[in-house]
Structure 1
């Protein structure tokens, strides 16, 4: 019996029980998460924006693709995807990728004051291709990843004061997301291929990503190790095919690091993985095949709240952002109605943790020009 099917039987109460090693704290996820009630209660009827939210939460539309951001002269980009927030004095900045092809991609930013009013909008990267997800660095830059064969990672300035920098040392492959680990001083990278890999980049100098070593996760005899990728340029042999025993992941998507663990998602098998970097152990934090009536399908971008909750956006499914709590529960947090031809992405909290940002990449039209970027406010657990 395939391991995931065996585990499913155990979770559903048929056959032998399965034990997963974990420590349940407010900063750790129990594995694997099971379907259960949300800590925020049931979703209410859709609001004026077509979003179903728990009681006490509200949504607002911030920007629409091809339209001018209200109060600015900036036209919001098409196909908004991965995003993150950065503190800016008493306000903050939300950056958002544009997953557009043929050099039409890039990154735009929304600037907010202390009262959450938009005070500016501008472009911080342009001329790139299919900027999908990415990741924030501890030194307040945004790593924007090209989801295309032999794609690059670009380091960008959320304030738009510094020119973006292409980072060939992080490898050329179908990049999806990046997550900075300041404890081990590495950057984790996911690859959006059905036979993709999980990488880490070890910079020569932490804080400078211009030079360093790209490594891939290898599994041999049940043990994990990191092995140098001989040719990060990926040509003629792609990076995922250069190292024997490299562990294969089915469609790497979002990544988020917190307190010794890098959580990342794989869309081909609807899993959330938890790489325990402290103990060099890989766990399954969520698998839709390991719980009854799984609410989370089409896993994509992922972020976390300081309380320990994870928020995972769906590409497909029923257009939900689901929450995975430290007490082993997965449940819908919100649902977007009337946009089945789209996907949810760009989940990110503002620095205070009381506002959640996300985008519907293709909105109600199902096209890249129909993207909508939202803000949700309410009594988030902090």
Structure 2
């Protein structure tokens, strides 16, 4: 089963706590009352030709346009080849009205690093990030590798000091057994499963590769995404353990990152637990208005040393088990996360009850998706939305927010792949549908992020033939 990933919001400036509870504070769980609005007021989706070459790659509401760029197999500015599996992404303000995009490539296995191998964290690992400079209409100015030699760079999150934190969704390395992909971990030269920081500076946009320094104290597990909360200086992280329970984490660095100007190693890792309910199973269907007071339990050994080459299944649960042994809550496949107005919103891809007429998906969790909100100042967790069935929302993954505060959800469903909007009133609508990709049935949306001025929505197609889109049009007319 192809798995779609996350993206956190592209904001480069974050405020303090902001609006109490965030824009979705009045919503209750919508398990049986989710409302669907075609186009969110934008109207029905129609086939739209790509401004690059006229091919129809997206169905959008009338009046919207797009351009694709930097597809897999094309060339970076340095002449090296663009890998596939475009995934999580964030947008930063560039010079002279341009946008700087930092984009993940979720490549797994010992397939060799792209770009300059001498600068790779692990010369055998094929994932990493690219940094692109584009205009508001998707015209590519430059594109270069910016972190290489990592693996399964799924999503991450933008940091307000001008960096992208990229997440490895794996624990592969020469010290653990092979994973589901069948790759030979003994060929890898370094341990994987960490956070890496990639500065979104002009130097990196022009070809400088980030120093590959893992944040080991933030844990070695199947990281999905990262969202920074500026008051306490914590990085909240999701975990996508496909076949097992997942946890919701926070990393408390040794110095506030806004003062340090970067994310430092050597801090404390914790997992969320529900007060008075050890190992609360939040992957199951939730009652309307579900709200929980929470606490945080310490992970004593965030970067465990393995001996005897344990199985990948054992290694990928080693950090999470420490939290669950202390009462940590159970989630299903946590993916996208975003900080917005004092609240961390995050997505449980397979959370919820199995809907009538829907079969249970593969992996841990039987539902079609949940959207959760954590309020750090209250230490309170609440359910924003639970999908009543695949026709309404089908396995949400990456998430971002529009300038109005509407959430943009990338789906990882079994049928057509949509971008859907979730408004402050709890209305959900279709905004974009991906046209079938020849020979690549697993193609899916990923990495949605609005540009700094809100004019353009950038989004990736995560597939072997991956590419990036810039979408623009009459946003004022509907839910975004």
TM-score range, shorter chain: 0.7 to 0.9
Counterpart residue number, 2:48: 47
38-47 vs 274-283, which moves further: 38-47
The reply on whether 1:65 has 2:72 as its aligned counterpart is yes
- Shift in Å at residue 328 of structure 1? 1.3
Q: Does the residue aligned with 1:227 lie in a helix, a strand or coil?
A: strand
Q: How does 1:62-101 map to 2 (within 5 A)?
A: 62-68=69-75, 73=79, 75-89=81-95, 90-101=97-108
Counterpart residue number, 1:123: 145
Q: Does the residue aligned with 1:75 lie in a helix, a strand or coil?
A: coil
Counterpart residue number, 1:226: 296
Q: Does the residue aligned with 2:41 lie in a helix, a strand or coil?
A: coil
Q: Can you list the C-alpha shifts for 1:118-152, whole angstroms capped at 9, x where unaligned?
A: 21100111111111011111111111110112601
Counterpart residue number, 2:290: none
Q: Tell me which of 371, 382, 389 is aligned to 1:272.
A: 371
Q: Tell me which of 371, 378, 383 is aligned to 1:284.
A: 383
Q: Tell me which of 150, 154, 162 is aligned to 2:196.
A: 154
Aligned length: 352
- Shift in Å at residue 27 of structure 1? 6.8
Q: Can you list the C-alpha shifts for 1:84-139, whole angstroms capped at 9, x where unaligned?
A: 00111332211111110121000012102477532110011111111101111111
| C-alpha contact 2:106 2:128 (8 A) present in aligned 1 | yes
| Two-structure CA RMSD over aligned residues (Å) | 2.3
- Shift in Å at residue 24 of structure 1? 9.0
- How many angstroms apart in 1 are the aligned matches of 2:322 and 2:211? 33
Q: How does 1:134-173 map to 2 (within 5 A)?
A: 134-149=156-171, 151-159=193-201, 160=204, 161=208, 162-173=210-221
For normalisation by structure 2, the TM-score amounts to 0.69
- How many angstroms apart in 2 are the aligned matches of 1:351 and 1:97? 19
| C-alpha contact 1:157 1:164 (8 A) present in aligned 2 | no
The structure with higher relative contact order (CA 8 Å, sep 6+) is 2
- Shift in Å at residue 23 of structure 1? 8.0
- Shift in Å at residue 26 of structure 1? 5.0
The reply on whether 1:350 has 2:351 as its aligned counterpart is no
- How many angstroms apart in 2 are the aligned matches of 1:28 and 1:47? 36
Counterpart residue number, 1:104: 126
For normalisation by structure 1, the TM-score amounts to 0.86
| C-alpha contact 2:67 2:137 (8 A) present in aligned 1 | no
> Which of the pair is proportionally richer in strand?
1
Q: Does the residue aligned with 1:300 lie in a helix, a strand or coil?
A: strand
- Shift in Å at residue 76 of structure 1? 2.3
Q: Tell me which of 229, 246, 253 is aligned to 1:203.
A: 253
Gap change, CA 1:174 and 1:107, over 3 Å in 2: same
Q: Tell me which of 133, 136, 141 is aligned to 2:155.
A: 133
| C-alpha contact 1:43 1:334 (8 A) present in aligned 2 | no
- How many angstroms apart in 1 are the aligned matches of 2:427 and 2:136? 33
Gap change, CA 1:94 and 1:40, over 3 Å in 2: farther
Q: Does the residue aligned with 1:42 lie in a helix, a strand or coil?
A: coil
Q: Can you list the C-alpha shifts for 1:142-168, whole angstroms capped at 9, x where unaligned?
A: 111101126011111223245242111
Counterpart residue number, 1:333: 431
- How many angstroms apart in 1 are the aligned matches of 2:45 and 2:405? 24
- How many angstroms apart in 2 are the aligned matches of 1:250 and 1:30? 21
Gap change, CA 1:115 and 1:99, over 3 Å in 2: closer
In structure 1, runs of 5+ residues without a counterpart are: 1-21, 363-367
The reply on whether 1:189 has 2:259 as its aligned counterpart is no
- Shift in Å at residue 294 of structure 1? 4.1
Q: Tell me which of 198, 212, 215 is aligned to 2:270.
A: 215
In structure 2, runs of 5+ residues without a counterpart are: 1-18, 50-55, 110-124, 172-191, 258-262, 278-292, 307-316, 352-368
Counterpart residue number, 1:379: 474
- Shift in Å at residue 259 of structure 1? 1.2
Q: Can you list the C-alpha shifts for 1:175-216, whole angstroms capped at 9, x where unaligned?
A: 110011112210000111131100001111112322211111
